[in-house]
Amino acid sequence: MSNFPQLSINNRWLGGALIAVALTGTGVWHPMSVRIRIEAKQEGVKMNPYIPLYSWVRSGALVCLGSIAHVRTQPGRPGQEDVALDIQIAEILWGKNTERLIRYAFSMPAGDLARVKFPDWAWEHVTLRDGTFVFLVTHDPSKISEAPVYVEESVDRNDPVLKSVRAVLIQEKAELSSNQRLAHYLRWLLEGPTVQRLFAAEALAKDNLPEFNHGEQVATAFTKVFASERDPSVQLSLGTWMWENIYPRTNAAGQVAIINAVIQCIADSSEDTRVLMLDHFVDVDPAELRRPGVVSSPTAVRQLEERLNEETDPQVHAHVQRLIDALKRHPAPKR
Tell me the per-residue pLDDT of 114-165, one tens digit each, with 9 for 90 and over: 777 788 788 887 999 999 999 999 988 888 888 899 999 987 888 999 999 9
The string over 243-276, giving b where at least 16 C-beta atoms fall within 10 Å of a residue's C-beta and e elsewhere, is bebbbebbeeebbbbbbbbbbbbbbebeebbbbb
CA distances from 117 to 34, 109, 128, 244 (A): 21, 9, 18, 38
Return the amino acid letter for 80. Q
Its pTM surpasses 0.85: no
pLDDT beyond 90 at 92 = yes
Cβ burial, residue 317 (10 Å; 0-12/13-18/19+): middle
Q: Where do the structural domains in the chain lie, given as residue ranges? A: 53-157, 161-328
pLDDT in tens, 267-302: 876 788 888 899 889 989 999 999 999 998 888 899
Q: Output the CATH code of domain 161-328.
A: 1.25.10
User: What CATH number has the domain spanning 53-157?
Assistant: 2.40.50
Query: Average pLDDT in the 243-257 region?
Result: 93
Q: Is the dihedral of CA 138, 139, 144, 150 positive or negative?
A: negative
Do 53-157 and 161-328 fold alike per CATH?
A: no
C-alpha atoms less than 13 angstroms from C-alpha of 44 in its C-beta half-sphere: 2
38 or 67, greater pLDDT: 67
How far, in Å, are 59, 235, 270 from residue 201 at the CA level?
17, 11, 21
CB atoms < 10 A from the CB of 38, how many? 21
